[in-house]
Amino acid sequence: MSAQESDRLIQERAIERAGTSFNVQDLIHYLDDGEENTKIYESMSLQLERDPIFKIKSSHLDLKAKRELAFKKIVKLAGYFQNSDEVELRNRIRILSLIDPDVATRIGVHYGLFIGTLRALGSSKQFEFWIKKGAFSLSNFYGCFAMTELAHGSNVAALQTTATYDPQDETFIIHTPSLSATKWWIGGAAHSATHAVVYARLISQGKDYGVKNFIVQLRNSQHELLPGVSVGDIGKKMGRDGIDNGWIQFTNVKIPKFNMLDKYAKVDNDGKVTLPQFQQLGYTALVVGRVSMVVDSYNTGKKFLTIALRYASTRRQFGKDSEGKEKKIIDYTHHRRRLFPLLASVYAMNSAALVISKFQDEANKLVESGENLKHVIPNLKDLFGLSAGLKAFCTWETAHIIDETRQSCGGHGYSDYNAFARGYNDWVVQCTWEGDNNVLSMSCGRALIQNYLSVEKKKIVGKYTKYLETTDISNEFELKSQDLEYIEKIIKAWEFVSKSLIVKSTNKFKNFVKEFNGDVELAFEKISSYRFIIAKVHTKLILLKSFYERILEAPKNLKPVLSLLLQLYSLSITSENISQFYSFNIVKGSDFLENLNYKIDEINELLRPDIIGLTDAFNLSDFVIDSQIGKRNGDIYESYFKHVNDNNSDLKPHYYDSIMKPFFQRDMKPSDNEEVDEEEEE
């Protein structure tokens, strides 16, 4: 019986797969930005897949056991990581993020944040010193990144921990002045870390120079805490429980002067402080994190769409198809409407991730090269603003994708064995850490207004805000139903609406500045709604444009399907933001909205035969996907049933004899606190 059901499901999936209109290998290489990358990703992924320790999953474990398992995996990973260069490290962490996000973060805290900060903000002498100490090989060394405090996260500039310079013995005294200044959430601090990069206020000669970075040793070679260092365990979280997040308090801990990272800011022996010309260079390290979260948004989004779309092409419910069987849920208009635009969105994020990665690499090279910084600054500003917007709206989009795909799988989405539950809980912290998404959106909105003020003053702006210069909004612009075929027209409409909103916001801003006698902060505060909406519209526009531009270079056999996805993306983001288009009279009437909706349904119909191919092109193995209903071969129920039983094999509850039996067979006489019918008493 079961065997026949399986045969049928496997055959159905094979037929779906055979319907693909393009060469899947070509699309894999296109998404990976080259066949070379595909080979690298496949190899890294296979190394993990074949390693027994990575087959062990942590869901059934308690908190302590999760921490232990994560460290066992790190022991295994260290062998790879200690021999990797920067690019390889980055790739390994990205692949690992798809399989064990908590392990990826726990090891990433050291190789990404600790080593990364050392590289970015330390002198080459300092870098070499700590590497020699064992930082790269993890020999009696594990770094953590002590930035956030209990009462300060987003506002890094207001952190309270102090590093007071003492010229007498050329040391800094690191001190936590209050409970609320306790370092909090520090990944690696609770169990693993021997050293920390500490963000603390540099105080010298009685003056506060703002937040700088200091290396502080936490534990000795017996892994005991050093004098003055208190550490605790932050405990259970929503997800990523393999990471040993901790808190740290420093009580007047002395460190050598050498331990302040001084590539930019420097202190001489007497305590005289020299600050760099462009303070913002110290923050370029933060952009690295944002960019990698855009990449992760793409990677994680693709995983969950693969599961949900495979499930939708197998699951049948209600209705009748042409053979009289219940209809596949993928063949419902509404189900397609829920999932296909998200697939298009993942493809758009793929392009945006490549664009912002390259933009960052270029910017870094320019900064390193010592080029005249005045010319680099406009693009750096663009990079700050754009990376803030993309980090916020891409990590949110992926949170939405995981939630919507889970719901689209009904009850099975709620099972731990289908990947969504862990996936969501592990993911959503990305919307908060390294810049809360709302704070980043507001700062992106602020940057856009500043950009437009630059345009007004005929100053140079970066390449991604160039359209604020070139788009003409002095005349009306209308997008009609028949224009929905033309992507260039839709992009123009987006540029028009984005610029219109930014101009309107800038004007409001200027009025408020006047009204509040030059109080710029108050004026920015009053236009908060606008800052948010312009950040969103601008970021979606850049996503759309990067997707459009990248398709121009795609292999010929891929262009038709990619163009459909692009069109779907453009229409679905237009539909989501249509109120702005209405408000500027770019679109009119209820028929437009109706036509837009039908156009989306129409494209979904055209994409339907390629859906399995489009998810196969994400090139994720069953091991990486780790979802019973997301199996490649389509035999979902058999696999799910077996997995559930392999992982839950007790036949009788272990507490039957101790709790259940005495309860079920208890004395049912009423207690002395209950009233009793007289009859019964007789």
Give the range of 115-123, 141-149, 258-266, 370-378 binding a second copy by CB under 8 A.
141-149
Whether residue 437 contacts residue 431, with contact meaning beta carbons closer than 8 Å, is answered with yes
Residue with tokens 């090269």: 369
Phi-psi region of 20 (alpha: psi -120 to 50; beta: other; left: phi over 0): beta
Cβ at position 499, least distance to a second copy in Å: 13
- Alpha carbons 346 and 352: distance in angstroms, whole number: 10
- Do the bridges between strand 162-166 and strand 195-204 make them parallel or antiparallel, or are there none, so unpaired? parallel
The DSSP code for 411 is G
Which structure tokens are listed for 249? 């308090």
Which structure tokens are listed for 472? 């003409």
Question: Which parts of 162-201 interact with a second copy (CB under 8 A)?
Answer: 177-180, 182, 184-185, 190-192
Binding flag, residue 589, a second copy (CB under 8 A): yes
With H, G, I as helix, E, B as strand and everything else as coil, classify residue 443: helix
Which structure tokens are listed for 86? 């920067």
List 53, 158, 460, 520, residue binding a second copy (CB under 8 A)? 158
Binding flag, residue 278, a second copy (CB under 8 A): no
Question: Which parts of 307-346 interact with a second copy (CB under 8 A)?
Answer: 315-319, 326, 332-335, 337-338
Nearer to a second copy, 21 or 230 (CB): 230
Nearer to a second copy, 354 or 392 (CB): 392
Question: Which parts of 569-588 interact with a second copy (CB under 8 A)?
Answer: 578-580, 582-585
Contacts of 171 (CB under 8 A, 6+ apart): 165, 254, 255, 256, 257
Question: Which parts of 597-636 interact with a second copy (CB under 8 A)?
Answer: 597, 601
DSSP assignments along 521-548, one per residue:
HHHHHHTHHHHHHHHHHHHHHHHHHHHH
Contacts of 472 (CB under 8 A, 6+ apart): none
Kindly name the residue from 16, 149, 397, 434 that is annotated as catalytic. 434
Is 187 within any annotated ligand binding site? yes
Binding flag, residue 666, a second copy (CB under 8 A): yes
Cβ at position 314, least distance to a second copy in Å: 10
List 11, 59, 205, 252, residue binding a second copy (CB under 8 A)? 59
List 19, 256, 560, 653, residue binding a second copy (CB under 8 A)? 653
Nearer to a second copy, 71 or 264 (CB): 71
Cβ at position 481, least distance to a second copy in Å: 13
Question: Which parts of 439-498 interact with a second copy (CB under 8 A)?
Answer: 442
Cβ at position 597, least distance to a second copy in Å: 5
- Alpha carbons 200 and 218: distance in angstroms, whole number: 15
Which structure tokens are listed for 559? 């262009």
Residue with tokens 């101790």: 658
Binding flag, residue 424, a second copy (CB under 8 A): yes
Cβ at position 593, least distance to a second copy in Å: 5
Chain centroid to Cα 679, Å, comes to: 69
List 116, 153, 301, 630, residue binding a second copy (CB under 8 A)? 153
Site pattern 501..540 for a second copy (x: CB under 8 A): ---x---x------------x---xx-xx-xx--------
DSSP assignments along 454-507, one per residue:
HHHTT----TTSTHHHH---SS-----GGGGG-HHHHHHHHHHHHHHHHHHHHH
Binding flag, residue 592, a second copy (CB under 8 A): yes
List 78, 226, 275, 281, residue binding a second copy (CB under 8 A)? 78
List 14, 56, 65, 520, residue binding a second copy (CB under 8 A)? 65
- Alpha carbons 254 and 402: distance in angstroms, whole number: 47
Cβ at position 234, least distance to a second copy in Å: 6
Binding flag, residue 436, a second copy (CB under 8 A): yes
Whether residue 263 contacts residue 122, with contact meaning beta carbons closer than 8 Å, is answered with yes
Nearer to a second copy, 553 or 674 (CB): 674
Give the range of 138-146, 305-313, 464-472, 553-561 binding a second copy by CB under 8 A.
138-146
Question: Which parts of 280-309 interact with a second copy (CB under 8 A)?
Answer: none
**Angle, CA of 475, 476 and 480, to the nearest 5°:** 145
Site pattern 240..269 for a second copy (x: CB under 8 A): ----x--x----------------------
147 phi, psi to nearest 5 deg: -100, -70
- Alpha carbons 189 and 227: distance in angstroms, whole number: 16
648-664 as b/e: b if 16+ CB within 10 A: eeeeeeeeeeeeeeeee
Binding flag, residue 652, a second copy (CB under 8 A): yes
Nearer to a second copy, 511 or 557 (CB): 511
List 17, 237, 492, 510, residue binding a second copy (CB under 8 A)? 237
Which structure tokens are listed for 521? 């902060």
224 in active site:
no
Quick one: 72 exposed, middle or buried, by C-beta within 10 A (0-12, 13-18, 19+)?
middle
Question: Which parts of 337-396 interact with a second copy (CB under 8 A)?
Answer: 337-338
List 20, 45, 126, 148, residue binding a second copy (CB under 8 A)? 148
With H, G, I as helix, E, B as strand and everything else as coil, classify residue 204: strand
Residues near a second copy (CB under 8 A), total: 139
Nearer to a second copy, 67 or 92 (CB): 67
Binding flag, residue 430, a second copy (CB under 8 A): no
List 123, 154, 595, 633, residue binding a second copy (CB under 8 A)? 154
Q: What is the dihedral of CA 233, 238, 240, 246, to 10 degrees?
A: -20
Amino acid at 611: I
With H, G, I as helix, E, B as strand and everything else as coil, classify residue 299: helix
Nearer to a second copy, 268 or 605 (CB): 605
Which residues are annotated binding-site positions? 148, 187
Residues with catalytic function: 434
Which residues are annotated binding-site positions for FAD? 148, 187
